[in-house]
Structure 1
Amino acid sequence: MNRILAAMLAAASCATMAQAQVGPSAPVAQDAPVYTLDQAVSAAGGSAPAAEAATAGIDAARAGRTVAGLRPNPVVQGQVENVIGSGPYRGVRSAETTVGFAIPIELGGKRGARVAVANAQLSRAEIQAAIIAADVRLQVTQLYVEAVAADRRVMTARDQARIASDALRAASVRVQAGRASPLEQQRADVARINADANVERQLRLAEAARANLARRIGRPIDGLLDDTLLDRLPDVNVYGPLAPVNTTGTLALAAANADFSIAEAGVRLARANRVPDLNVGPSIRRLEATNDMAAVFSVSIPIPVFNNGRAAIAQATAQRTQADAQRRVTALDIEQAITDAQAQAANAATTARAASGPALAAAQEAARIARIGYREGKFGQLELLDAERTLAETRVAAIDALANYQNARAQVERLTARAPNGGNQ
């Protein structure tokens, strides 16, 4: 009788396993090409609205640098004197008409100061584009990891449903043979119903995860996802004692340095604006009374009485001090964030290695022994159900731990991402 029962269970196990692997609910064909994480990141980088905004920001900064290097436009001016008066100036008989133009001459290095501000703003725009690209990579990585983990949860749920169906058949055989109470069959049926319902739930979550990933990358996912991504754990000795953090060249610190460079260039521009500009230009004057022509040369310079530029310099200096303080705060914050992220990644790696290794192996062995003992009448159904429940929970915990490590590793890579040109400002 035991041999017949074992044969029935083996045949049912093979059939349900094959159905779980190539069932109609599979999202893509099993022979489809693997759609890698790098492909997803590349697709998202080209379709993300944030990346488009960053590109437009760089274009605007380059145009601003061109504008900053332009010289002031000349001014055409004209005037008519000695008209509509009294005596000999009645009417326009004594009119003097002057036509000419004035050329503004910038002094104090204003043009160079404006260009320096524009260059600093362009560098900041390029760093912002790198920040957005790093953020997009982090977001896509997290969505990709979640989609892979969701697919693996579906496989686990299907396997648990297969095991529950096998347990139900075993309980039915035991009840029909008079070796067990009908209550065992009812318990097994409840476990099978719950397992099937869990498959449906996990399928919906997997579809949602794939839809979110496809929405982020701006295209449908044609192939299988790289399931091996979750299993890429570091060596045991990779995460030892935390090393000192070097934030030089990171995106966050480069952005703070760029803000300081803009503020510093603003101080130079404010100082240059204190120097008054000259307006010079030749003109031609026509004397109506004698019909003669004469040349006129004009020079004008503003008198800094009400606005001498000191307030603008004080404002720019305060902004530079603020940017310098913010730069130091950013350095401290990024050091703390990297330290915390590295610790979380190390802990996640330890948890993932244990959950997917010894803990999972022990749970699988316990469930195997419980199945054999239940078929041979050595263990009761409650022991079997408890072992199967422990195995299911351990498998899900292993998937969660592997996904948590991959997300933690991606977070570390985001925080330590290097700025373009090394972040030197």
Structure 2
Amino acid sequence: MYIFSNNLTVIPRLWAMLSFCVLPLCVFSEPSHPEKPAESVISPATIGDSLTLPQVLALTLTNNPALIAFSEEIRAREALTLQAGLLPNPVLNANAGNFANATAKGFDGDAVTLQLSQLIELGGKRAARIEAAAARREVADWDYETQRVTILARATQAFIDVLGAQAHAELAERSLQLAQTVVETVANQVKAGKVSPVEQTRVNVTLATAQSEKLRAEREWAASKQTLAAFWGGSATEFSTVRGDLEHIRPLPPLESLNVRLKQSPTLRRWLSELSRRQALLQSEQAKAVPDLTVKLGGTHFLQNQDYVANVGISMPLPVFDRNQGGIAAAERRLDKTDAELRAVRFRVDSEFSATYQRLDATQTEIENYRLTILPSAQSAYRSVQKGYRLGKFALLDVLDTQRTLFNAKAQYLRALTAYHQCLADLERLIGGAVNEDSQ
């Protein structure tokens, strides 16, 4: 009854496969600290003739340039966190006085002074600086998680595109074969004088249409393969087909349970970390209002009488005019701005999630309608008309019409299946993991 049973090999749940590939999409307790991506364990030479979704995700995770760039930024933020915790360097001063002054005597004679000064940060500046750098690193971690989830979702969608295009090409091939069979049958009937030559013209048009549809399907298949290979910087020539099961559909969990998981999505966690970073920056600006203390210790050596004098001193700017009022006010405004951006992101994510869930639910209903009603009815009608045509009860035009209806129904069913899995990947991108947790 269904059109994929003999053509597609069963694969695990589209998104849940990540958990079996030891390639988790997202860690919700804490953002991961990725190391520099190692050379991929799956190279073009080991892909093989047929590509699976786990291979696609592995290649993407280890070779995608955008992910590599994000991991480099995380290591840069680590270096900045280290820099933020370093103490100010001490300063060594040396000067000499009264050289070439022959009349200067005693303590007014030649003298050499050495002085060591150390800046002591007050007001918790160093602690605030470390906290701000750590928050900046956490934001980078969540940026990486968000980008990783997004890229893997897009790679999954590209894989589904190839899988759907491949099935369309197979369907077009079968349609062409059937059209060629009809042309041969009608040609024999025309030679026997059983039907008019006009009937042969009709089936020839049908054959030409099927050939055109096959060429179009093959072009789309080739284009989708190249789009997929671009996720790991590869080429469509590295594989010939993909293996998957478009008909593998699972019931959707309740909307309420997915809404709970949405609140822990990488996108929202990223903006919560950004809010914490802005709060740390505000504390850092407030700490700058407290002046720092400089301690000085040194001595002067008088060369004429070989005497020594010790020098001790402190210095501190007086916060009369500059108390970092502008820096504090700017940090407060940016904190308010980030809070508003967080609310906007929550609204956008909630809206996109709700729309995607409803679209997914509607597509699932459409698929069930095709499975239970449309495809069986179209198949039954085609068989009945074909049988009636051999008995002389139906005209050739009826056969061609039911044939076209059947293949159009199969093509629409394919499009619905592809749309379902595309939409599912979008939904799982939003929540940062598999929709059906029990499949992991």
The two structures share one fold, judged by TM-score above 0.5: yes
Structure 2 residue aligned with 1:142:
157
Distance across 2 between alignment mates of 1:359 and 1:240: 28
Work out whether 1:54 is the aligned partner of 2:70.
Answer: yes
- Which whole-Å CA distance do the structure 1 matches of 2:169 and 2:181 have between them? 18
Which of 176, 184, 194 lines up with 2:191 in the alignment?
A: 176
How far apart are 1:124 and its partner, in Å?
Answer: 0.7
Residues 250, 57 of structure 1: CA spacing in aligned structure 2 closer, same or farther, 3 A cutoff? same
Per-residue deviation, 1:311: 1.4
Native 8 Å contact 1:367 1:387 kept in 2: yes
1:423 alignment counterpart: none
SS at match of 2:318: coil
Match of 1:66 in 2: 82
Cα distance, 1:244–1:225 mapped onto 2, change above 3 Å: closer
Q: If the length of structure 1 is used for normalisation, what is the TM-score? A: 0.85
Structure 2 CA distance for partners of 1:34 and 1:244, relative to 1, 3 Å: closer
Instruction: Return the alpha-carbon distance in structure 1 between the equivalents of residues 425 and 346 of structure 2.
Output: 20
- 2:188, 2:160 → 1: CA distance? 42
Distance 1:242 1:287 in 2: 84
- Mark the runs of 5 or more structure 2 residues left unpaired by the alignment: 1-5, 9-47, 434-440
Code of the residue aligned with 1:51 in structure 2: it is: L
SS of equivalent to 2:259: coil
Task: Provide the C-alpha distance between the structure 1 equivalents of 2:119 and 2:171, rounded to a whole number of angstroms.
Answer: 77
User: Residues 9-48 of structure 1 correspond to what in structure 2 (within 5 A)?
Assistant: 35-48=51-64
Percent pairwise identity: 26
Q: Which runs of 5+ in 1 are unaligned?
A: 1-17, 22-31, 419-425
| Among 273, 298, 306, the residue aligned to 2:313 | 298
Q: Render the CA deviation track for 1:266-312: whole Å, top value 9, x for unaligned.
A: 01101111111111131121224423122111211122344211211
What residue number does 2:259 align with?
A: 245
User: Post-superposition shift, 1:103?
Assistant: 0.9
Report the structure number with the largest CA radius of gyration: 1
Q: How far apart are the structure 2 equivalents of 1:262 and 1:94?
A: 57
Report the AA paired with residue 397 of structure 2: L
TM score, norm. by length of structure 2: 0.82
Give the total of aligned pairs. Answer: 385
SS at match of 1:245: helix
Contact between 1:93 and 1:288, CA under 8 Å: does it hold in 2? no
The residue matched to 1:76 in structure 2 has which SS? strand
Residues of 2 paired with 1:121 and 1:408: CA distance? Answer: 33
The corresponding residue for 1:75 is: 91
Structure 2 contact 175–210 (Cα < 8 Å) conserved: yes
Paired residue for 1:335?
A: 350
Q: 2:86 is aligned with what amino acid? A: L
Deviation of the 1:358 alpha carbon:
2.0
Provide the C-alpha distance between the structure 2 equivalents of 1:223 and 1:179, rounded to a whole number of angstroms. Answer: 45
Q: CA deviation at 1:409?
A: 0.6
Q: Distance in 2 between the 1:216 and 1:260 partners?
A: 32
Which position in structure 2 is the counterpart of 1:12? Answer: none
In structure 1, what is the Cα distance between the partners aligned to 2:254 and 2:114? 82
Distance 1:385 1:373 in 2: 13
Residue 102 (structure 1) aligns with: 117
Q: Structure 1 residues 241, 67: CA separation in 2 closer, same or farther (over 3 Å shift)?
A: closer
Equivalence for 2:223: 208
CA contact (8 A) 2:258 2:431 kept: no
